[in-house]
Structure 1
């Protein structure tokens, strides 16, 4: 069954998600938004204590369920220290370079309300520092947050209600272009959330049936390595993570089609689940490529490290300049959403996965036989004969 994705819905959801600040640790409002949208689509979200979301779409059976996981949290920063000049020293939330923080407009969430500001290098004025502006090192020690309020001292800033530990959200500054490109911060992983919602919308709109329950999971701490550690139930046998791929020199990811991750820094993804995704791309005529990520981990890693015995895989939409000034193309978002929908309705092939523990009967095999090779052509035969004569 081919799943038809509503492209307008997908893009509008991405716009709405980007408009809600959600750095790790400050995700309550986006959890509310996502929960409301899931309810509007006909699902019944359940929340963990801290706000990770599980919404189960019922299938033909409960055991051996499939999970589709994305994360609602984004990169951000936190107040590390209030300086004598009233400005703020920062530490990052998640792993990203201060190179991409310089010049960012931000919101500071304090106990007395929010404030606006700008992250600047310590030497920000060319009229004052001349060439030193260009020679200042890159790093979080070399930037500071200028608050858009009257403050010239540490005491002034404290009096505003701003304090150490306050969360700083980075403006996404999205731009949706007519040619399909989308530029914004935090496409990781709000584009993945929009993909999941678009796949759900398509399944509900078409009344699609699935062979097993589908657990739609939205985590809130992936950027700090926690992710899907505690939101998975024992019914889940396989998990598909939807996240960004890294289009950069030395990588095979693309801003078009689906990029299927074969491995990341935590190791290879499940052989059989990954092969199934490749086969679905081919049968559904979804453009795809494979890639291996060296400096990357996702919700899949946190699930396995937490002790969940599930098959895991990762499908990605290619992002140029990930964790920086990110860019994607709508084509990749739609392609991934089609694959997610196709996976949801596809038959369960490994029947043994319906049980958490069982005997060896029905356990999978991986190919080990020698591959067939074409017979050598005339040119190759000539070379062989010449070698023999010598």
Structure 2
């Protein structure tokens, strides 16, 4: 049996996932990719009406269920306006800052499936022309997309098929370093999607009998707040969101352990489940950090706001520079995968 977790396999899977554009609202291709992978290991899936993917593994107790989620949708944008000079204004999808995408390569997908590349720039980029090139505010009014096409006006842009409402995705610039780091956009939350796929693969390969019927939701609307707030069976007792751990000044989360969230902007996560996750880490010598994420919401908190009567929790690998050019280390992936492995085989909290 291949050693688990196989971190090189996980990192390659993350690389594959982040390389498939999937801004919230346009996740069809990455959902198809995940469904195909799961079918190859014998896991059946169904799609919900929102386009998310659900896999269910029967357990010894079918009267009580457990649910795990990770989201495959990412930050992105839409074409807001075609300017008279042939450049594009953007409307952002998801919560992030304009300065985090300045200078980024991007792709515009037309409704006919044509891909046009471009670069997201300040209108005042050239220091030889604009005195305020460095000081101008990075915002919707000042930032634009320079298309890699011979266009000089609005009519030229529409002639190549681009229209208001077309989706814009960012180049992930994924890189795996020799010393174990993975740098990329969209590690939030495709790193966790990869880990759930790996977990399902091990469950299948080793014929692991789970104590409870367990649902795995690959959600596709988390970045706009409602990815995992539906398709929760009445039998579901515990709901665990697997997402990124937020790093920064005042945070304990790092790039080398699994982060267990005690509270985010939605309020505290279930105290009993949080203690259970910590106990699993201590018993199995898993590196972890407890933390509070001040400006954060998850699929689990969305489920609570939707009114579901479940025990909810949130864990994930520590990821630096969230909603920008992100980075984590394979150690965080290993520790998160190990906690997931022991968690799905554990008993419910009291």
What TM-score comes out, normalization by structure 2 length?
A: 0.97
SS in 1 for 2:195: helix
Whether the aligned pair in 1 keeps the contact of 2:253 and 2:259 (CA below 8 Å) is yes
Structure 1 residue 298 displacement after superposition: 0.7
- State whether structure 2 residue 115 is matched by structure 1 residue 114: yes
Structure showing greater Rg: 1
SS in 1 for 2:79: strand
**Cα separation, 1, equivalents of 2:235 and 2:127:** 60
Give the structure with the higher percent helix. Answer: 1
Structure 1 residue 349 displacement after superposition: 4.5
**Cα separation, 2, equivalents of 1:52 and 1:141:** 34
Instruction: Specify the alignment match of 2:206 in structure 1.
Output: 206
**Cα separation, 2, equivalents of 1:231 and 1:16:** 27
Instruction: Specify the alignment match of 1:53 in structure 2.
Output: 53
Structure 1 residue 37 displacement after superposition: 1.0
- Describe how 1:51-90 pairs up with structure 2 within 5 A: 51-90=51-90
Structure 1, gaps ≥5 residues long: 351-390
Please tell me the root mean square deviation across aligned C-alpha atoms, in Å.
Answer: 1.2
**Runs of 4+ with >3 A deviation:** none
Structure 2, gaps ≥5 residues long: none
The count of residues paired between Structure 1 and Structure 2 equals: 347
Whether the aligned pair in 1 keeps the contact of 2:273 and 2:349 (CA below 8 Å) is no
**Cα separation, 1, equivalents of 2:161 and 2:306:** 38
**Cα separation, 1, equivalents of 2:63 and 2:116:** 48
Instruction: Specify the alignment match of 1:298 in structure 2.
Output: 298
Q: 1:349 to 1:225 in 2, by over 3 A?
A: closer
SS in 1 for 2:208: coil
**Cα separation, 2, equivalents of 1:349 and 1:255:** 28
Structure 1 residue 233 displacement after superposition: 1.6
Give the structure with the higher percent strand. Answer: 2
**Cα separation, 1, equivalents of 2:275 and 2:167:** 41
SS in 1 for 2:63: coil
Instruction: Specify the alignment match of 2:169 in structure 1.
Output: 169
**Cα separation, 1, equivalents of 2:341 and 2:137:** 46
Whether the aligned pair in 1 keeps the contact of 2:238 and 2:348 (CA below 8 Å) is no
**Cα separation, 2, equivalents of 1:348 and 1:250:** 32
**Cα separation, 2, equivalents of 1:326 and 1:126:** 28
**Cα separation, 1, equivalents of 2:20 and 2:232:** 25
Instruction: Specify the alignment match of 1:358 in structure 2.
Output: none
Instruction: Specify the alignment match of 1:314 in structure 2.
Output: 314
- Map Cα deviations across residues 292-346 of structure 1 (whole Å, 9 max, x no partner): 1110001011111112111110002111110011110111011111101101111
- State whether structure 2 residue 273 is matched by structure 1 residue 273: yes
SS in 1 for 2:211: coil
Instruction: Specify the alignment match of 2:193 in structure 1.
Output: 193
Instruction: Specify the alignment match of 1:30 in structure 2.
Output: 30
Instruction: Specify the alignment match of 2:288 in structure 1.
Output: 288
Whether the aligned pair in 2 keeps the contact of 1:243 and 1:316 (CA below 8 Å) is yes
SS in 2 for 1:66: strand
**Cα separation, 1, equivalents of 2:318 and 2:25:** 26
Whether the aligned pair in 2 keeps the contact of 1:52 and 1:231 (CA below 8 Å) is no
Structure 1 residue 102 displacement after superposition: 0.8
- State whether structure 2 residue 232 is matched by structure 1 residue 232: yes
Structure 1 residue 205 displacement after superposition: 2.3
**Cα separation, 2, equivalents of 1:4 and 1:148:** 44
